[in-house]
Amino acid sequence: MDTPELANLNQIELDGPLDQPERGVMARDLATGSILVVPREVVRAMLRLRHGGGPAADQGEAQSGSDRASIASLLHSVQYLRQSQRAGAATFNPLFIRLSLFSVAPWQRYLTGMAGLLVGPVYLWLMAVLLLAAVWLGIQSDWAIIGAFQGIFSPEALLTFGIAAPLLKIFHELGHVLAATRFGTRVAQAGVLFIALFPIPFVDCSDADVSANRLQRVVISLAGLFTDLLLGVVIFIAWHFTTGDFLRSLLGNLFVYLTLNSVLFNANPLVKLDGYFALIDLVRYRNLSQDGGRAFKGFQIWLGTFGRRGTTPAGLRDVAILAYAALSFVYRIYIIGFIAYSLLPRYMGVGAVMVVWGLVAMFLSPLARSPAGPSGAGNPDGKALWGVRLGLLVVLGLSLVLVRVPVRQDIDVTIDAAGHYAVTVPETGRLGGLVGYGPVAEGTILAELDFRVLREQLAERQAEQAIALQALDAERDGEPLRAATARQRLGSLQNQVDRLETRLQGEALTAGARGVFVPLTDRQPGAQLVTGAAIGALYPDQGSSVVSGRFPERFVHYYREGVRSAELRVDGRYYQLDANSLVLQERVSIDEQSGQRLYILQVRAPLSAADMFSLTGHVRLEFRSESLWQRLLFHATGLLQNLQDARLSELERQLGAP
Q: What band does 102 get if pLDDT is binned at 50, 70 and 90?
A: confident
Compute the distance between CA of residue 202 and CA of residue 114 in angstroms, rounded to an integer. Answer: 20
pLDDT by residue (tens digit) across 133-191? Answer: 989 988 887 777 776 666 655 556 556 666 777 788 888 889 999 999 999 888 888 88
pLDDT the model gives residue 470? 77
- Single out the residue of 104, 126, 229 nearest to residue 177, CA to CA: 104
β-pairing verdict for 96-102 and 190-195: antiparallel
Q: Are residues 434 and 447 in contact, defined by beta-carbon separation less than 8 angstroms?
A: yes
Residue 601: strand pairing partners? 549, 584
377 has pLDDT over 50? no
Rounded percentage of the chain residues whose pLDDT exceeds 70: 69
Quickly state the pLDDT bin for 450 (edges 50, 70, 90): confident
Q: Which residue has the higher pLDDT, 82 or 417?
A: 417
- Distance of alpha carbon 74 from alpha carbon 82, whole angstroms: 13
Average pLDDT over residues 56-78: 59
Percentage of residues in the chain having pLDDT higher than 90: 3
User: pLDDT tens for residues 612-627?
Assistant: 888 888 898 999 988 8
Residue 439 in this model has a pLDDT that exceeds 80: yes
Secondary structure (DSSP) of 94-158: TTEEEEEEE-SGGGGGGGHHHHHHHSSHHHHHHHHHHHHHHHHHHHHTTTGGGGGGGGTTSHHHH
Nearest Cα to 549, choosing from 184, 150, 172?
150
In degrees and rounded to multiples of 5, residue 16 shows phi and psi of 140, -175
User: In 10 A of CB 254, how many CB atoms?
Assistant: 24
Instruction: Report pLDDT digits (tens) over 279-335.
Output: 888 888 877 888 888 888 888 778 777 777 778 888 888 899 889 888 888 887 777
Please tell me what DSSP assigns to residue 372: B
pLDDT of 55 above 60? no
Q: Band of the pLDDT at 22, cuts 50, 70, 90?
A: very low
Q: How many CB atoms are located within 10 Å of the residue 233 CB?
A: 20
> What average pLDDT does range 32-57 have in this prediction?
61
589 membership: H or E segment, kind and range: strand 582-590
Mean pLDDT of the region 569-595: 78
State the chain's mean pLDDT as an integer. Answer: 76
How many other C-beta atoms can be found within 10 angstroms of the C-beta atom of residue 232?
21
Measure the CA–CA gap between 298 and 180, rounded to whole angstroms.
37
> Is pLDDT of 341 > 70?
no
* pLDDT tens, position by position, 521-560: 878 888 888 888 888 888 998 888 889 888 888 888 889 8
- Report for 90-99, 252-261, 492-501: range of highest mean pLDDT: 492-501
Model confidence at 251, pLDDT cuts 50, 70, 90, reads confident
Amino acid sitting at position 16 = G
More confident of the two residues 253 and 217: 217
Helix axes of 480-504 and 452-474: crossing angle, nearest 10 degrees: 160
The whole-number pLDDT of residue 390 equals 77
